Homo-oligomer: A and B are copies of this chain.
C-alpha cells in the first residue's frame, strides 16, 4: 500500500475546486449516490485540473504518458443526494519519482461529505513505469501541506 496522504477537512487546504451536479442515474435504491459513483467525480475533477494547469490529458497522451490509477481510497462521511451541487476540492501530494497522490474533499454548501485519495503512476505506451513530467514534479515540490 502506497497510500499515505490524509486529506484535510478544510477546503482552504486544497489547490483547485470543481463543481459537479449529481445525476439521478447516480443514485441507488437507498436514495443516495452509490458509493461506486464517487470515483468518476474524482476523475472528472483531475481532468479539469490538468486542463486548468495548461497540461490537458490529451497533451500527456500525445507525449506517450498515461497516469494509471494504482490505488484509490474513499471515506463516506455523509451521503450525497440527487441534484446536490458537489464541490470537489483537489490537491496533489506526496510526489515521488514515479508516483504521486491526489487528495480530495467533497463538500455540499461548504459541508464535508466525503474525502478520498488516489495514487497514480506515470506509464509509457508499453505500460511500463515512466518518470513523471517535470511540471508534475515541480507541482509536488511547491506543495507544503502537512497532510
Contact = CB atoms under 8 A, between A and B. Distances in A.
A26 B24 CA distance: 12
Nearest to A78: B127
Q: Is the interface on chain A under 10, 10 to 19, 20 to 34, or 35 or more residues? A: 35 or more
A137 interface: no
Interface stretch (A69-77, A91-99, A101-109, A128-136): A69-77
The 10 closest A-B pairs by CB, nearest first: A36-B39, A27-B29, A25-B40, A35-B69, A29-B31, A73-B73, A71-B75, A72-B74, A27-B28, A23-B44
Interface of A: 1, 3, 6, 21, 23-32, 34-37, 39-40, 43-44, 47, 56-58, 66, 68-76, 81-83
A84 to B, nearest CB: 12
Contacts of A1: 6, 75
Contact of A74 (B6, B71, B75): B71
